[in-house]
């Protein structure tokens, strides 16, 4: 009796050779790779075999498994080719082998008519991914990729939180991982830590292998899973280990639609912690510890609520797919976005070595592992600011191209930034950072974890005709507090000119649609100011654009007591032994909100002691805005309690001088600095 062919997809198949059309028996499983992660598959296969779900019939590995690892009736071969040539005819082939072998082994298994469980990463290149995808379609077979976290029931729970608006609008999704890997980790195999091996792509690394689940899980939560979903991938790659591949990186994926996904990952932490994927919403956040299937949800000021759910096994899911057509949890096509990240990493500039002065090695011999200085802080900043290490200005990162440098006596004392790399919710704008003393003490910060929209020294306002050109949440009288709103504008340069000791900028203040609200003429000028000191003068003129009045406001003018910041603002880095004073008062509480001819900030910074002397604008008695206990920052406020209204074409000018001095200065020395400006 003959059988007519059946069609799977667009391919004619014969029930005599197609495992899916054979009489229903236990699925026959072949495992390729029995060591490393393959050993975990053996444990799972034993569990499922004892439950009567499958039959492990064969294994393939150049190094045979040890005694007792397999049942006596399991055939062992040196390779998948040998296994297939022996007419084992497996229904499912599990591939748990080195990255560079994934594609050829998957292609062989698919051609033999088997479904495939393919360990992550899917492949070492987009070309290989495309070849596997084409083969799966041609042969009408299923491919499940081994991102085990995608079997978590938490994913559906998070999807519901997003869909029903519990978290508000999603501002971004991040993945953070701080792991520890020693020298032995990269000596476990020939391919470990390699970008290529004998001319074959490997692309091992923190994002493609060790913490690949973090990337894949974040992409799934963002509903960015296929190649067509991805607009752009940025990869900022570094290494502290003596290897080819990256061990400390930021991978940022910008989708065609939806929130940006930022993955900040390292294998060079002081201590290993659970990796998490975080959904950042306007009303709250959800933090998913995916290795434990634990979700912590925080809404507003409420206490976090913990949810722990189960996880479905990917191999069981593949078997259910074969038996009943159940949807795969980690199908091949839905790892396409992840492969976009892999391809970007593969084709990127080789990872930059982190200089040894920023790396502390802990332990001895093969048990030694590197710890990158302050890496946990840089990881946190990257995920909150949606920024790369380069954009953040990590001292060991590749330098971000500057818009110009300012010098005093041939010493670079300040770097101009155009702000184009700043995330939209931080109101992109030009600023200076880093600013340093003549001895090299850095006295500004940018994108700190507590307020990622704080950008060195510059000019910003939280309310310009109802648009936020400061960044972060907006204080509204109606809410009586800070709320996230889609109201962030930007300040862009329409012209700029830099000399050694100055910079002139023509700027356009724009609303969310790009319409011009204000024009600004800004000048920065620096000059010597006595022994160990120099002065930086900022003069800016804001002019109302268009034919309607423009209102300049602040949280203070919108109802927040003592919160009238806006205009000139200087964000300082973390410092200790802080003294803040004016001629009449000392201490944050006494100085904050008062107008005074000058304000001095003295502190010990990471690079040494320094003094900053802020001289008030002569144009108006604007109050000083000071923060020292919550975070370090100083500003001169334009609209402390009342808004400023500019009529069409009307201008407002402010001039601020800051004397930047090495060391701490006494009262007489402060007076001398005031005179020397």
pLDDT at residue 16 greater than cutoff 50: no
pLDDT of residue 24: 58
pLDDT of residue 147: 98
Percent of the chain whose predicted confidence (pLDDT) is above 90? 93
pLDDT of residue 1: 29
Taking 3-state DSSP, the helix, strand and coil percentages for the chain, each rounded to the nearest 5, stand at: 20, 35, 40
Instruction: Give the pLDDT band of residue 55 (cuts 50, 70, 90).
Output: very high
Q: pLDDT digits over 398-425, tens only? A: 999 999 999 999 999 999 999 999 999 9
DSSP 369-422: EEEETTHHHHHHHHHHHT--HHHHT-TTSPPPPPSEEEEETTEEEEEEE--TTS
pLDDT at residue 273 greater than cutoff 70: yes
DSSP annotation of 157: H
pLDDT of residue 66: 85
The whole-number average pLDDT for the span 222-244 is: 98
Instruction: Give the pLDDT band of residue 317 (cuts 50, 70, 90).
Output: very high
The whole-number average pLDDT for the span 172-190 is: 97
Q: pLDDT digits over 434-460, tens only? A: 999 999 999 999 999 999 999 999 999
Q: pLDDT digits over 599-624, tens only? A: 999 999 999 999 999 999 999 999 99
Q: pLDDT digits over 69-85, tens only? A: 899 899 999 999 999 99
The whole-number average pLDDT for the span 36-47 is: 95
pLDDT of residue 672: 85
Taking domain 150-309+345-385, whether its CATH number is 3.30.360.10 is answered by: yes
Instruction: Give the pLDDT band of residue 187 (cuts 50, 70, 90).
Output: very high
**Boundaries of every domain in the chain:** 6-141, 150-309+345-385, 401-676
pLDDT of residue 4: 31
pLDDT at residue 11 greater than cutoff 80: no
Q: Which residues contact 311 (CB under 8 A, 6 or more apart)?
A: 148, 151, 152, 153, 293
In the predicted model, what is the mean pLDDT of the chain? 95
Candidates 73, 82, 84; CA nearest to 17 is 84
Instruction: Give the pLDDT band of residue 5 (cuts 50, 70, 90).
Output: very low
The whole-number average pLDDT for the span 503-511 is: 98
pLDDT at residue 10 greater than cutoff 60: no
- The CATH architecture to which 401-676 belongs is Distorted Sandwich (2.70)
pLDDT of residue 316: 98
pLDDT at residue 15 greater than cutoff 50: no
pLDDT at residue 362 greater than cutoff 70: yes
pLDDT of residue 554: 98
pLDDT of residue 673: 85
Q: For residue 242, which phi and psi values (nearest 5 degrees)?
A: -85, 70
Q: Which residues contact 674 (CB under 8 A, 6 or more apart)?
A: 597, 598, 613, 615, 659
Spatial distance between the Cα atoms of 92 and 57, rounded to a whole number of angstroms: 10
Give one word for 476, left, alpha or beta, with left for phi > 0 and alpha for psi -120 to 50: beta
pLDDT at residue 657 greater than cutoff 90: yes
> Cβ(571)–Cβ(458) under 8 Å?
no
The whole-number average pLDDT for the span 515-520 is: 98
pLDDT at residue 151 greater than cutoff 70: yes
pLDDT of residue 18: 54
DSSP 221-270: HTT--SGGGEEEEEEEEEESSSSSS-SEEEEEEEESSS--EEEEEESB-S
Distance of alpha carbon 125 from its chain centroid, rounded? 22
pLDDT of residue 669: 87
The two structure tokens encoding residue 4: 């007519």
4 CB burial (10 A radius; 0-12, 13-18, 19+): exposed
∠ CA 291-294-295, nearest 5°, is: 125
Which is it for strands 624-627 and 608-615: parallel, antiparallel or unpaired? unpaired
DSSP annotation of 325: -
Q: pLDDT digits over 572-595, tens only? A: 999 999 999 999 999 999 999 999
Taking domain 6-141, whether its CATH number is 3.30.930.10 is answered by: no
């Amino acid at each position: 009796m003959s059988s007519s062919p059946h069609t799977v997809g667009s391919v004619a198949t014969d029930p005599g050779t197609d495992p899916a059309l054979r009489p229903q028996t236990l699925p026959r499983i072949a495992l390729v790779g029995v060591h490393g992660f393959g050993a975990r598959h053996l444990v799972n296969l034993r569990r499922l075999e004892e439950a009567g779900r499958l039959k492990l019939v064969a294994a393939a590995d150049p190094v045979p498994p040890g005694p007792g690892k397999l049942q006596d009736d399991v055939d062992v071969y040196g390779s998948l080719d040998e296994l297939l040539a022996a007419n084992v005819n497996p229904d499912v082939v599990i591939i748990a082998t080195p990255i560079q072998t994934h594609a050829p082994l998957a292609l062989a298994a698919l051609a033999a008519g088997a479904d495939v469980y393919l360990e992550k990463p899917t492949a070492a290149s987009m070309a290989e991914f495309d070849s596997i995808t084409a083969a799966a379609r041609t042969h009408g077979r299923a491919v499940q990729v081994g991102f085990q976290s995608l079997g978590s029931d938490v994913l559906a729970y998070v999807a519901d939180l997003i869909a029903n608006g519990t978290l508000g609008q999603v501002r971004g999704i991040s993945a953070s991982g701080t792991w520890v890997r020693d020298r032995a980790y990269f000596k476990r195999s020939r391919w470990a830590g390699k970008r290529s091996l004998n001319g074959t792509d490997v692309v091992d690394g923190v994002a493609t292998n060790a913490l690949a689940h973090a990337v894949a899980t974040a992409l799934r939560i963002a509903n960015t899973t296929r190649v067509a979903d991805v607009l752009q991938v940025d990869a900022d790659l570094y290494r502290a280990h003596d290897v080819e591949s990256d061990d400390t990186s930021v991978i940022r994926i910008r989708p065609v639609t939806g929130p940006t996904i930022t993955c900040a990952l390292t294998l060079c932490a002081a201590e290993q912690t659970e990796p998490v994927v975080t959904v950042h919403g306007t009303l709250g956040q959800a933090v998913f510890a995916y290795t434990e299937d634990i979700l912590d949800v925080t809404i507003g000021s409420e206490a976090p609520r913990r949810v722990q759910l189960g996880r479905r096994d990917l191999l069981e899911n593949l078997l259910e797919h074969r038996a009943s057509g159940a949807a795969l949890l980690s199908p091949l096509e839905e790892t396409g976005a992840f492969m976009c990240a892999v391809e970007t990493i593969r084709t990127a500039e080789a990872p930059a070595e982190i200089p040894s002065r920023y790396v502390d090695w802990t332990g001895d011999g093969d048990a030694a592992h590197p710890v990158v200085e302050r890496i946990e802080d840089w990881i946190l900043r990257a995920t909150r600011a949606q920024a790369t290490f380069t954009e953040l200005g990590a001292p060991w990162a590749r330098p971000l191209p500057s818009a110009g440098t300012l010098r005093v006596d041939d010493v670079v004392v300040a770097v101009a930034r155009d702000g184009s790399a700043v995330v939209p919710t931080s109101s992109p704008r030009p600023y200076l950072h880093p600013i340093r003393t003549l001895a090299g003490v850095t006295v500004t910060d940018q994108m700190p974890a507590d307020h990622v929209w704080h950008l060195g020294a510059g000019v910003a306002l939280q309310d310009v005709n109802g648009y936020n050109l400061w960044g972060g949440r907006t204080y509204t009288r109606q809410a009586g507090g800070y709320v996230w709103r889609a109201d962030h504008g930007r300040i862009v340069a329409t012209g700029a000119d830099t000399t050694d000791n100055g910079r002139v900028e023509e700027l356009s203040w724009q609303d969310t649609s790009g319409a011009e609200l204000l024009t600004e003429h800004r000048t920065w000028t620096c000059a010597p100011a006595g022994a160990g000191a120099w002065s930086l003068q900022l003069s800016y003129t804001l002019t109302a654009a268009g034919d309607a009045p423009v209102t300049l406001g602040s949280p203070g003018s919108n109802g927040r007591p003592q919160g009238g910041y806006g205009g000139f603002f200087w964000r300082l880095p973390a410092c200790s032994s802080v003294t803040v004073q004016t001629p009449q008062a000392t201490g944050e509480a006494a100085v904050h909100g008062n107008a005074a001819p000058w304000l001095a900030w003295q502190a010990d910074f990471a690079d040494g002691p320094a003094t900053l002397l802020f001289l008030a604008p002569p144009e108006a008695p604007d109050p000083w805005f000071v923060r020292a206990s919550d975070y370090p920052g100083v500003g001169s406020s334009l609209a402390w309690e009342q808004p400023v209204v500019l009529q069409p074409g009307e201008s407002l000018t402010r001039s601020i001088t800051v004397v930047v001095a090495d060391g701490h200065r006494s009262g007489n020395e402060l007076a001398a600095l005031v005179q020397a400006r």
